[in-house]
Protein backbone atom coordinates (compact mmCIF):
# COMPACT_ATOMS: atom_id res chain seq x y z
CA UNK A 1 0.00 0.00 0.00
CA UNK A 2 1.14 3.54 -0.72
CA UNK A 3 1.40 6.16 2.05
CA UNK A 4 -0.17 9.42 0.87
CA UNK A 5 0.35 11.63 3.94
CA UNK A 6 -1.94 14.48 4.94
CA UNK A 7 -1.83 18.24 4.73
CA UNK A 8 -0.08 20.25 7.43
CA UNK A 9 0.75 18.77 10.81
CA UNK A 10 3.67 19.20 13.19
CA UNK A 11 6.25 16.94 14.82
CA UNK A 12 6.49 17.71 18.54
CA UNK A 13 9.02 15.76 20.69
CA UNK A 14 7.61 12.25 20.96
CA UNK A 15 8.55 11.55 24.61
CA UNK A 16 7.30 7.98 24.33
CA UNK A 17 10.53 6.13 25.22
CA UNK A 18 9.90 5.97 28.96
CA UNK A 19 6.72 3.91 28.66
CA UNK A 20 6.84 2.30 25.22
CA UNK A 21 8.36 -0.95 26.54
CA UNK A 22 6.52 -0.99 29.87
CA UNK A 23 4.13 -3.94 30.20
CA UNK A 24 0.56 -3.04 31.17
CA UNK A 25 0.15 -3.41 34.95
CA UNK A 26 -3.20 -3.64 36.69
CA UNK A 27 -3.83 -0.99 39.36
CA UNK A 28 -5.52 -2.43 42.46
CA UNK A 29 -9.22 -1.56 42.82
CA UNK A 30 -9.72 1.56 44.96
CA UNK A 31 -11.88 1.68 48.12
CA UNK A 32 -14.23 4.14 46.45
CA UNK A 33 -15.12 4.64 42.75
CA UNK A 34 -16.63 7.82 41.28
CA UNK A 35 -18.56 7.04 38.09
CA UNK A 36 -19.89 10.10 36.20
CA UNK A 37 -23.24 9.76 34.41
CA UNK A 38 -21.70 11.36 31.31
CA UNK A 39 -18.78 9.56 29.70
CA UNK A 40 -19.71 9.72 26.02
CA UNK A 41 -20.46 12.39 23.43
CA UNK A 42 -24.20 12.87 23.97
CA UNK A 43 -26.66 13.49 26.76
CA UNK A 44 -26.13 12.60 30.46
CA UNK A 45 -27.62 9.31 31.66
CA UNK A 46 -30.16 8.72 34.42
CA UNK A 47 -29.05 6.70 37.41
CA UNK A 48 -30.79 3.32 37.68
CA UNK A 49 -29.57 2.71 41.25
CA UNK A 50 -30.39 4.31 44.62
CA UNK A 51 -28.26 5.41 47.54
CA UNK A 52 -27.77 2.48 49.91
CA UNK A 53 -28.28 -0.16 47.20
CA UNK A 54 -25.72 -2.95 46.75
CA UNK A 55 -24.42 -3.30 43.20
CA UNK A 56 -22.35 -5.99 41.52
CA UNK A 57 -19.26 -5.50 39.41
CA UNK A 58 -20.34 -5.04 35.78
CA UNK A 59 -23.95 -4.16 36.72
CA UNK A 60 -25.58 -1.47 34.58
CA UNK A 61 -26.07 1.59 36.84
CA UNK A 62 -27.09 4.34 34.42
CA UNK A 63 -28.73 4.61 30.98
CA UNK A 64 -30.84 6.86 28.75
CA UNK A 65 -33.41 6.54 25.95
CA UNK A 66 -31.58 9.26 23.99
CA UNK A 67 -30.19 8.25 20.59
CA UNK A 68 -26.65 9.45 21.40
CA UNK A 69 -26.01 7.52 24.61
CA UNK A 70 -24.52 4.32 26.05
CA UNK A 71 -24.99 2.86 29.53
CA UNK A 72 -22.42 2.85 32.34
CA UNK A 73 -21.62 -0.04 34.65
CA UNK A 74 -20.34 -0.43 38.18
CA UNK A 75 -16.62 -1.16 38.21
CA UNK A 76 -16.64 -2.81 41.66
CA UNK A 77 -19.11 -4.68 43.87
CA UNK A 78 -20.25 -2.55 46.78
CA UNK A 79 -22.72 -0.03 48.17
CA UNK A 80 -23.90 3.16 46.44
CA UNK A 81 -22.95 5.89 48.93
CA UNK A 82 -23.84 9.10 47.06
CA UNK A 83 -25.22 10.39 43.78
CA UNK A 84 -24.24 14.02 43.42
CA UNK A 85 -22.57 16.62 41.22
CA UNK A 86 -18.78 16.23 41.48
CA UNK A 87 -15.75 17.61 39.58
CA UNK A 88 -15.45 16.15 36.11
CA UNK A 89 -12.15 15.88 34.19
CA UNK A 90 -13.59 17.47 31.03
CA UNK A 91 -14.66 20.64 32.91
CA UNK A 92 -17.24 21.63 35.48
CA UNK A 93 -19.26 19.18 37.51
CA UNK A 94 -21.30 16.14 36.46
CA UNK A 95 -23.78 13.97 38.38
CA UNK A 96 -21.65 11.08 39.68
CA UNK A 97 -22.44 7.74 41.32
CA UNK A 98 -20.08 7.09 44.24
CA UNK A 99 -19.71 3.40 45.19
CA UNK A 100 -17.87 2.01 48.19
CA UNK A 101 -15.98 -1.13 47.18
CA UNK A 102 -16.85 -4.11 49.44
CA UNK A 103 -13.73 -5.89 48.12
CA UNK A 104 -15.82 -9.00 47.30
CA UNK A 105 -15.22 -8.59 43.54
CA UNK A 106 -18.64 -10.13 42.90
CA UNK A 107 -19.62 -9.96 39.23
CA UNK A 108 -22.99 -9.93 37.50
CA UNK A 109 -23.64 -12.92 35.22
CA UNK A 110 -21.72 -12.30 32.01
CA UNK A 111 -23.38 -13.66 28.89
CA UNK A 112 -20.61 -14.97 26.63
CA UNK A 113 -21.20 -15.50 22.91
CA UNK A 114 -19.23 -18.39 21.44
CA UNK A 115 -20.10 -17.88 17.78
CA UNK A 116 -20.78 -14.20 17.14
CA UNK A 117 -21.03 -14.85 13.38
CA UNK A 118 -24.47 -16.39 14.04
CA UNK A 119 -25.77 -13.04 15.36
CA UNK A 120 -27.42 -10.49 13.08
CA UNK A 121 -25.88 -7.05 12.64
CA UNK A 122 -28.72 -5.57 14.75
CA UNK A 123 -28.13 -8.02 17.61
CA UNK A 124 -24.36 -7.36 17.62
CA UNK A 125 -24.99 -3.59 17.72
CA UNK A 126 -27.38 -4.13 20.67
CA UNK A 127 -24.67 -6.09 22.54
CA UNK A 128 -22.04 -3.39 21.82
CA UNK A 129 -24.36 -0.66 23.12
CA UNK A 130 -25.42 -2.65 26.18
CA UNK A 131 -21.76 -3.04 27.20
CA UNK A 132 -21.20 0.72 27.09
CA UNK A 133 -18.63 0.74 24.27
CA UNK A 134 -17.47 4.16 23.03
CA UNK A 135 -14.53 5.25 20.87
CA UNK A 136 -11.47 4.89 23.09
CA UNK A 137 -9.21 7.19 21.13
CA UNK A 138 -10.49 10.03 23.33
CA UNK A 139 -13.64 11.17 21.51
CA UNK A 140 -15.94 8.69 23.34
CA UNK A 141 -18.47 8.61 20.48
CA UNK A 142 -20.97 5.74 20.92
CA UNK A 143 -19.55 2.85 18.85
CA UNK A 144 -22.90 1.24 17.98
CA UNK A 145 -23.89 4.46 16.17
CA UNK A 146 -20.61 4.70 14.28
CA UNK A 147 -21.02 1.10 13.14
CA UNK A 148 -24.54 1.80 11.86
CA UNK A 149 -24.26 4.44 9.12
CA UNK A 150 -27.40 5.60 7.25
CA UNK A 151 -28.86 2.97 4.89
CA UNK A 152 -28.18 5.07 1.77
CA UNK A 153 -24.44 5.25 2.57
CA UNK A 154 -22.19 2.51 1.17
CA UNK A 155 -19.18 1.72 3.37
CA UNK A 156 -16.30 -0.06 1.63
CA UNK A 157 -13.40 0.32 4.10
CA UNK A 158 -12.89 0.09 7.85
CA UNK A 159 -9.84 2.04 9.03
CA UNK A 160 -8.27 1.26 12.38
CA UNK A 161 -6.52 4.07 14.12
CA UNK A 162 -3.38 2.73 15.76
CA UNK A 163 -1.47 5.95 15.10
CA UNK A 164 -1.47 7.20 18.72
CA UNK A 165 0.14 10.39 17.46
CA UNK A 166 -0.07 12.34 20.75
CA UNK A 167 3.33 12.60 22.49
CA UNK A 168 3.93 10.55 25.68
CA UNK A 169 1.00 8.15 25.18
CA UNK A 170 1.53 4.41 24.70
CA UNK A 171 -1.79 2.90 25.73
CA UNK A 172 -2.94 1.92 22.22
CA UNK A 173 0.62 0.85 21.43
CA UNK A 174 0.75 -1.55 24.39
CA UNK A 175 -2.75 -2.95 23.72
CA UNK A 176 -1.69 -3.77 20.14
CA UNK A 177 1.51 -5.45 21.40
CA UNK A 178 -0.03 -7.33 24.34
CA UNK A 179 -3.56 -8.10 23.10
CA UNK A 180 -3.22 -8.54 19.31
CA UNK A 181 -5.75 -11.34 18.99
CA UNK A 182 -8.45 -9.30 20.76
CA UNK A 183 -7.73 -6.37 18.41
CA UNK A 184 -7.95 -8.56 15.30
CA UNK A 185 -11.11 -10.41 16.43
CA UNK A 186 -12.71 -7.05 17.30
CA UNK A 187 -11.88 -5.81 13.79
CA UNK A 188 -13.47 -8.95 12.30
CA UNK A 189 -16.66 -8.29 14.32
CA UNK A 190 -16.77 -4.71 12.99
CA UNK A 191 -16.16 -5.90 9.40
CA UNK A 192 -19.02 -8.38 9.80
CA UNK A 193 -21.37 -5.62 11.07
CA UNK A 194 -20.37 -3.18 8.30
CA UNK A 195 -20.34 -5.94 5.67
CA UNK A 196 -16.91 -4.87 4.35
CA UNK A 197 -13.98 -6.98 3.09
CA UNK A 198 -11.37 -4.26 3.46
CA UNK A 199 -9.83 -3.14 6.75
CA UNK A 200 -6.53 -1.30 7.23
CA UNK A 201 -4.72 -0.72 10.53
CA UNK A 202 -2.69 2.53 10.42
CA UNK A 203 0.26 2.57 12.85
CA UNK A 204 2.92 5.30 13.06
CA UNK A 205 6.44 4.11 12.30
CA UNK A 206 7.69 5.01 15.80
CA UNK A 207 5.86 1.86 17.00
CA UNK A 208 7.96 -0.81 15.30
CA UNK A 209 7.03 -3.60 17.73
CA UNK A 210 3.28 -2.96 17.35
CA UNK A 211 3.66 -2.99 13.54
CA UNK A 212 5.49 -6.35 13.66
CA UNK A 213 3.02 -7.90 16.13
CA UNK A 214 0.01 -6.72 14.12
CA UNK A 215 1.54 -7.96 10.84
CA UNK A 216 1.83 -11.45 12.34
CA UNK A 217 -1.67 -11.30 13.82
CA UNK A 218 -3.34 -10.49 10.46
CA UNK A 219 -1.85 -13.50 8.63
CA UNK A 220 -4.63 -15.43 6.90
CA UNK A 221 -7.07 -12.49 7.02
CA UNK A 222 -7.96 -9.76 4.51
CA UNK A 223 -6.87 -7.10 7.04
CA UNK A 224 -3.83 -4.97 6.15
CA UNK A 225 -1.30 -3.08 8.27
CA UNK A 226 -0.08 0.29 7.02
CA UNK A 227 2.99 1.90 8.67
CA UNK A 228 2.60 5.70 8.67
CA UNK A 229 5.35 8.34 8.76
CA UNK A 230 5.11 9.80 12.28
CA UNK A 231 3.40 13.17 12.20
CA UNK A 232 0.86 14.86 14.47
CA UNK A 233 -2.27 14.80 14.18
CA UNK A 234 -2.27 11.69 11.99
CA UNK A 235 -4.82 10.02 14.28
CA UNK A 236 -7.50 12.59 13.37
CA UNK A 237 -10.09 10.72 11.30
CA UNK A 238 -9.82 12.96 8.26
CA UNK A 239 -5.99 12.97 8.38
CA UNK A 240 -5.92 9.18 8.63
CA UNK A 241 -8.29 8.76 5.68
CA UNK A 242 -6.13 11.09 3.57
CA UNK A 243 -2.87 9.41 4.65
CA UNK A 244 -4.01 5.84 3.94
CA UNK A 245 -6.68 6.10 1.23
CA UNK A 246 -5.88 9.50 -0.35
CA UNK A 247 -9.54 10.50 0.07
CA UNK A 248 -10.63 13.96 1.22
CA UNK A 249 -13.69 14.15 3.49
CA UNK A 250 -15.59 17.33 2.47
CA UNK A 251 -16.09 20.17 4.96
CA UNK A 252 -18.92 19.43 7.40
CA UNK A 253 -19.20 15.78 6.30
CA UNK A 254 -18.47 12.50 8.08
CA UNK A 255 -15.97 9.81 6.97
CA UNK A 256 -18.96 7.72 5.84
CA UNK A 257 -19.48 10.28 3.03
CA UNK A 258 -16.36 8.78 1.36
CA UNK A 259 -17.32 5.19 2.24
CA UNK A 260 -15.12 4.88 5.36
CA UNK A 261 -15.68 4.14 9.04
CA UNK A 262 -12.77 4.84 11.41
CA UNK A 263 -12.34 3.19 14.80
CA UNK A 264 -9.51 2.96 17.29
CA UNK A 265 -7.53 -0.29 17.79
CA UNK A 266 -8.21 -0.31 21.56
CA UNK A 267 -11.93 0.05 20.81
CA UNK A 268 -11.59 -3.11 18.68
CA UNK A 269 -10.21 -5.00 21.71
CA UNK A 270 -13.10 -3.68 23.86
CA UNK A 271 -15.62 -4.85 21.23
CA UNK A 272 -14.10 -8.34 21.35
CA UNK A 273 -14.35 -8.43 25.16
CA UNK A 274 -17.93 -7.12 25.04
CA UNK A 275 -19.20 -9.59 22.45
CA UNK A 276 -17.17 -12.75 23.13
CA UNK A 277 -16.55 -12.44 26.89
CA UNK A 278 -19.70 -10.47 27.76
CA UNK A 279 -17.57 -7.80 29.51
CA UNK A 280 -18.87 -4.26 29.89
CA UNK A 281 -16.37 -1.41 29.53
CA UNK A 282 -15.24 -1.03 33.14
CA UNK A 283 -11.53 -0.39 32.81
CA UNK A 284 -9.09 1.47 30.63
CA UNK A 285 -5.37 1.20 29.79
CA UNK A 286 -3.73 4.58 30.38
CA UNK A 287 -0.17 5.93 30.21
CA UNK A 288 1.04 7.80 33.29
CA UNK A 289 4.10 9.89 32.42
CA UNK A 290 5.81 13.28 32.56
CA UNK A 291 8.94 14.36 34.40
CA UNK A 292 7.01 14.89 37.68
CA UNK A 293 6.33 11.12 37.72
CA UNK A 294 9.11 8.96 39.22
CA UNK A 295 7.82 5.64 37.81
CA UNK A 296 6.12 6.20 34.43
CA UNK A 297 3.80 3.27 33.64
CA UNK A 298 1.07 1.84 31.46
CA UNK A 299 -1.73 0.92 33.82
CA UNK A 300 -5.06 -0.85 33.47
CA UNK A 301 -7.27 1.22 35.75
CA UNK A 302 -10.90 0.75 36.80
CA UNK A 303 -13.10 3.55 35.49
CA UNK A 304 -14.03 5.76 38.42
CA UNK A 305 -10.61 5.55 40.11
CA UNK A 306 -9.57 9.04 41.17
CA UNK A 307 -6.40 10.29 39.51
CA UNK A 308 -4.89 10.95 42.98
CA UNK A 309 -4.74 7.14 43.47
CA UNK A 310 -3.23 6.60 40.02
CA UNK A 311 -0.55 9.23 40.60
CA UNK A 312 0.28 7.90 44.06
CA UNK A 313 1.02 4.51 42.50
CA UNK A 314 3.47 6.08 40.03
CA UNK A 315 5.51 8.28 42.37
CA UNK A 316 3.96 11.69 41.76
CA UNK A 317 6.13 14.69 42.68
CA UNK A 318 3.68 17.43 43.60
CA UNK A 319 6.40 20.05 44.04
CA UNK A 320 7.76 19.64 40.53
CA UNK A 321 4.49 19.54 38.62
CA UNK A 322 3.61 22.65 36.62
CA UNK A 323 0.69 21.25 34.64
CA UNK A 324 -1.44 18.15 35.15
CA UNK A 325 -3.13 16.91 31.98
CA UNK A 326 -5.68 14.20 31.30
CA UNK A 327 -4.89 12.91 27.80
CA UNK A 328 -1.96 13.96 25.62
CA UNK A 329 -0.17 17.31 25.80
CA UNK A 330 -1.66 18.54 22.50
CA UNK A 331 -5.37 17.80 22.98
CA UNK A 332 -5.65 16.80 26.62
CA UNK A 333 -7.46 18.73 29.36
CA UNK A 334 -5.52 20.52 32.10
CA UNK A 335 -6.71 19.42 35.56
CA UNK A 336 -7.10 21.74 38.53
CA UNK A 337 -7.69 18.99 41.10
CA UNK A 338 -6.59 15.39 41.70
CA UNK A 339 -10.13 14.56 42.84
CA UNK A 340 -11.45 13.69 39.38
CA UNK A 341 -11.95 10.14 38.09
CA UNK A 342 -10.53 8.20 35.16
CA UNK A 343 -13.33 7.98 32.59
CA UNK A 344 -13.85 5.94 29.41
CA UNK A 345 -12.14 8.57 27.25
CA UNK A 346 -8.99 8.80 29.41
CA UNK A 347 -5.88 7.72 27.50
CA UNK A 348 -3.24 9.11 29.84
CA UNK A 349 -2.37 11.28 32.80
CA UNK A 350 0.64 13.55 32.41
CA UNK A 351 2.35 15.38 35.25
CA UNK A 352 4.48 17.91 33.36
CA UNK A 353 7.25 20.06 34.81
CA UNK A 354 8.00 23.70 33.93
CA UNK A 355 10.64 22.51 31.46
CA UNK A 356 8.07 20.34 29.67
CA UNK A 357 5.30 22.91 29.46
CA UNK A 358 7.55 25.63 28.02
CA UNK A 359 5.05 28.43 28.74
CA UNK A 360 5.95 31.82 27.18
CA UNK A 361 3.86 35.00 27.14
CA UNK A 362 1.98 35.65 23.87
CA UNK A 363 3.45 38.33 21.56
CA UNK A 364 1.99 40.13 18.57
CA UNK A 365 1.24 38.12 15.43
CA UNK A 366 4.03 38.54 12.85
CA UNK A 367 1.89 37.29 9.97
CA UNK A 368 4.25 34.38 9.18
CA UNK A 369 1.43 32.01 8.14
CA UNK A 370 2.97 29.01 9.93
CA UNK A 371 -0.33 28.29 11.71
CA UNK A 372 -2.12 28.11 8.35
CA UNK A 373 0.52 25.76 6.91
CA UNK A 374 0.31 23.49 9.98
CA UNK A 375 -3.48 23.18 9.99
CA UNK A 376 -4.53 19.67 8.83
CA UNK A 377 -8.03 20.95 8.09
CA UNK A 378 -6.91 23.75 5.72
CA UNK A 379 -8.28 26.42 8.09
CA UNK A 380 -6.98 29.90 8.95
CA UNK A 381 -6.29 29.86 12.72
CA UNK A 382 -4.79 33.37 12.66
CA UNK A 383 -8.13 34.69 11.37
CA UNK A 384 -10.06 32.97 14.19
CA UNK A 385 -7.86 34.62 16.82
CA UNK A 386 -8.46 38.08 15.29
CA UNK A 387 -12.22 37.55 15.00
CA UNK A 388 -12.43 36.23 18.58
CA UNK A 389 -10.78 39.43 19.86
CA UNK A 390 -13.76 41.37 18.43
CA UNK A 391 -16.38 38.75 19.48
CA UNK A 392 -17.19 38.11 15.80
CA UNK A 393 -18.46 34.58 16.50
CA UNK A 394 -20.73 34.29 13.44
CA UNK A 395 -17.93 35.34 11.13
CA UNK A 396 -15.79 32.60 12.67
CA UNK A 397 -18.48 30.10 11.71
CA UNK A 398 -18.42 31.37 8.10
CA UNK A 399 -14.72 30.47 8.02
CA UNK A 400 -15.62 26.81 8.83
CA UNK A 401 -14.72 27.03 12.52
CA UNK A 402 -16.67 23.83 13.22
CA UNK A 403 -14.29 21.84 10.98
CA UNK A 404 -11.50 22.51 13.50
CA UNK A 405 -10.53 19.31 15.33
CA UNK A 406 -8.82 21.29 18.14
CA UNK A 407 -5.55 19.47 17.49
CA UNK A 408 -3.45 22.39 18.77
CA UNK A 409 -0.94 22.25 15.86
CA UNK A 410 -1.45 25.97 15.16
CA UNK A 411 -0.73 27.01 18.75
CA UNK A 412 2.26 24.66 18.89
CA UNK A 413 3.91 26.07 15.76
CA UNK A 414 3.19 29.78 16.38
CA UNK A 415 6.48 31.66 17.02
CA UNK A 416 4.52 34.38 18.86
CA UNK A 417 2.83 31.88 21.23
CA UNK A 418 -0.60 33.18 20.23
CA UNK A 419 -3.37 31.29 22.12
CA UNK A 420 -5.00 30.19 18.87
CA UNK A 421 -6.63 26.96 20.05
CA UNK A 422 -8.07 28.73 23.09
CA UNK A 423 -9.67 31.36 20.81
CA UNK A 424 -11.12 28.55 18.70
CA UNK A 425 -12.56 26.70 21.72
CA UNK A 426 -14.14 29.91 23.02
CA UNK A 427 -15.59 30.65 19.56
CA UNK A 428 -17.11 27.16 19.31
CA UNK A 429 -18.60 27.39 22.81
CA UNK A 430 -20.14 30.82 21.99
CA UNK A 431 -21.65 29.51 18.75
CA UNK A 432 -23.11 26.47 20.54
CA UNK A 433 -24.66 28.64 23.25
CA UNK A 434 -26.13 30.98 20.59
CA UNK A 435 -27.93 27.96 19.02
CA UNK A 436 -29.67 27.04 22.32
S1 LIG B 1 -7.30 25.49 13.44
FE2 LIG B 1 -7.99 23.69 14.56
S3 LIG B 1 -7.57 21.97 13.19
FE4 LIG B 1 -6.37 23.73 12.46
S5 LIG B 1 -4.36 23.49 13.46
FE6 LIG B 1 -5.59 24.85 14.77
S7 LIG B 1 -6.54 23.47 16.25
FE8 LIG B 1 -5.79 22.16 14.55
S1 LIG C 1 1.75 31.37 13.37
FE2 LIG C 1 1.37 32.93 14.93
S3 LIG C 1 2.58 34.68 14.29
FE4 LIG C 1 2.43 33.33 12.51
S5 LIG C 1 0.58 34.04 11.41
FE6 LIG C 1 -0.10 32.46 12.77
S7 LIG C 1 -0.75 33.57 14.62
FE8 LIG C 1 0.53 34.96 13.45
To the nearest whole number, what is the mean pLDDT of the chain?
96
For residue 358, the model assigns a pLDDT of: 74
Among protein residues, the one whose CA lies closest to atom 4 of ligand 2 = 368
pLDDT digits (tens, 9 = 90+) for 173-198: 999 999 999 999 999 999 999 999 99
- Which residues fall within 8 angstroms of residue 147, CB to CB, at 6 or more apart? 125, 128, 190, 193, 194, 261, 263
The Å distance, Cα 382 to ligand 2 centre, comes to 6
- Kindly report the protein residue whose alpha carbon is nearest to atom 8 of ligand 1: 407
Q: What kind of architecture, by CATH, is found in domain 112-276?
A: 3-Layer(aba) Sandwich (3.40)
**pLDDT for res 436:** 67
Nearest protein Cα to ligand 1, atom 6: 410
Confidence band, pLDDT 50/70/90 cuts, at residue 435: confident
Q: pLDDT tier at 42 (50, 70, 90 boundaries)?
A: confident
Q: What is the mean pLDDT of residues 264-291?
A: 98
* Distance from Cα 406 to the centre of ligand 1, integer Å: 5
Question: Is residue 370 in contact with ligand 2, taking CB distance under 6 Å?
Answer: yes
Does the CB atom of residue 226 touch ligand 1 within 6 A? no
**239: pLDDT strictly greater than 80:** yes
Pairing assessment for the beta strands 32-36 and 93-101 based on DSSP bridges: antiparallel
Local confidence band at 40 (pLDDT 50, 70, 90 cut-offs)? confident
Looking from the CA of residue 369, the nearest atom of ligand 2 is 5
Looking from the CA of residue 403, the nearest atom of ligand 1 is 3
- Report whether 163 contacts 200 (CB < 8 A): no
**Is residue 369 within 6 Å of ligand 2 at its C-beta?**
yes
Q: How far apart are CA 385 and CA 370, in angstroms?
A: 14
Mean pLDDT of 354-379: 93
Q: What is the pTM of this model?
A: 0.95
Q: Could you tell me which CATH class the domain 28-110+280-356 is placed in? A: alpha beta
CB-ligand 1 contact for 409 (6 Å cutoff) = yes
Average pLDDT over residues 290-301: 98
pLDDT band at 267 (very low <50, low <70, confident <90, very high): very high
CA-based Rg of the chain, rounded to a whole angstrom?
Answer: 21
Q: Is 250 in the pocket of ligand 2 (CB under 6 A)?
A: no
Q: Per-domain residue ranges for the chain?
A: 28-110+280-356, 112-276, 370-435
Residue among 377, 380, 408, 411 to mutate when testing ligand 1 (max atoms within 8 A of CB): 377
CA of 39 to the centre of ligand 1 (A): 24
**Which atom, in ligand 1's list, is nearest to the CA of 374?**
5
Q: Is the CB of 410 within 6 Å of ligand 1? A: yes
Residue 230 has pLDDT above 90, yes or no: yes
| Most ligand 2 atoms within 8 A of CB, residue of 410, 416, 421 to mutate | 416
Distances in whole angstroms, Cα of residue 424 to Cα of each of 42, 123, 195, 421: 21, 40, 38, 5
User: Using CA positions, which residue lies closest to atom 3 of ligand 2?
Assistant: 365
pLDDT value at residue 342 = 98
Q: What is the pLDDT of residue 91?
A: 82
Compute the distance from residue 340 Cα to the ligand 1 centre, in Å.
28
Ligand nearest the Cα of residue 8 is 1
Ligand 2 contact via 188 beta carbon (within 6 Å)? no
Residue 287 has pLDDT above 80, yes or no: yes
Say how many C-beta atoms besides its own lie within 10 A of residue 147's C-beta.
22
Residue 359 has pLDDT above 80, yes or no: no
With a 6 Å cutoff on the Cβ, whether 76 touches ligand 2 is no
Of 190, 112, 185, the closest CA to residue 144 belongs to 190
Q: What is the model's pLDDT at position 360?
A: 80
**Best of 10, 371, 419 to mutate for ligand 2, by most ligand atoms within 8 A of CB?**
371
Q: Tell me the C-alpha to C-alpha distance, in Å, between residue 114 and each of 76, 111, 118, 186, 276.
A: 26, 10, 9, 14, 6
Residue 433 binned pLDDT confidence (cut-offs 50, 70, 90): confident
For ligand 1, whether the C-beta of 413 sits within 6 Å is no
- Which one, of 275, 331, 273, lies nearest residue 140 by Cα? 331
Distance 404 CA to ligand 1 centre (A): 5
The CB of 367 under 6 Å from ligand 2? The reply is yes
Amino acid sequence: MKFFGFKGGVHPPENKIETQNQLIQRLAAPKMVFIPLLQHIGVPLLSSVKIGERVLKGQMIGDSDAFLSVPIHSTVSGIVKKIEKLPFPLMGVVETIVIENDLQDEWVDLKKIENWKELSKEDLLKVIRSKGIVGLGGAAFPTHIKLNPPKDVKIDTLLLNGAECEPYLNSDNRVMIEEPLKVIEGIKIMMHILNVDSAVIGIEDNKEEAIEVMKKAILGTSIKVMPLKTMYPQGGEKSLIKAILNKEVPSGKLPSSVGVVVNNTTTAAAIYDAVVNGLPLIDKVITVAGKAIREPKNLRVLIGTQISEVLENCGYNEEEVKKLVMGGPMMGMAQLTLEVPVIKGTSGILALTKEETNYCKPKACIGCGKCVDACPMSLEPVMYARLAEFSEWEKMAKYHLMDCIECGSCSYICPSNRPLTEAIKIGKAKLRSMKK
